[in-house]
Amino acid sequence: MEFVGESMIHHTAANDTIRITTGSAFDVKGSRRQTDFHINQNAHDLDESFEITVTNQRAQPVRVTIVEHMNRGENWEITEKSSDYTRTDSHTLEFPLVIPANGTGKLDYSVRYTW
């Protein structure tokens, strides 16, 4: 096995898990766009929504995991979602999706931050 390119791996503890991006697939593509954003300073909240589309051009279905980071503050909640998710830590969500062969899958979600 040979890694080509450069990536930064910060110091990790022994037996800790890290994620390394080793490349990208041209037949499975994803795009992410923000569909709504609203901030209310007086109420101390911020609402935003996202749409993530994954296109699969393979002849068989693929399983993908969409990883989203809630980085706008400590207090947040998902208010709407089109797919179930797993909360892996205080700021990270993983949405598993199965994308059909030669098809498209879509994830929509909304999050509310409060402070």
Asked if the structure places residue 69 within a domain, the reply is yes
- How high is the pLDDT of residue 43? 94
Q: pTM for the complete prediction?
A: 0.78
User: Is residue 4 situated within a structural domain?
Assistant: no
Range of the domain at 105: 34-114
pLDDT value of residue 74: 86
Asked if the structure places residue 25 within a domain, the reply is no
Does 12 reside within a domain?
no
In a domain, 62, yes or no: yes
Mean pLDDT, the chain cut into blocks of 10 residues (115 residues total): 59 75 76 97 96 96 95 93 96 97 98 96
**Residue 59 forms part of a structural domain:** yes
Q: What is the 3-state secondary structure (H, E, C) of 22-65?
A: CCCCCCEEEEEEEEEEEEECCCCEEEEEEEEEEEECCCCCEEEE
Number of domains in the chain: 1
Residue with tokens 């208010």: 79
- The confidence score (pLDDT) of residue 10 equals 67
Amino acid in position 89: D
Structure tokens at 14: 């022994």
62: nearest Cα among 33, 26, 18: 26
Position 93 scores a pLDDT of 97
Structural domain includes residue 20: no
Q: Taking the alpha carbons of 70, 71, 74, 80 in that order, is the dihedral positive or negative?
A: negative
Q: What is the pLDDT of residue 94?
A: 97
Rg (CA), the chain: 17
Q: What is the CATH number of the domain that holds 43?
A: 2.60.40
**Is 81 part of any domain?**
yes
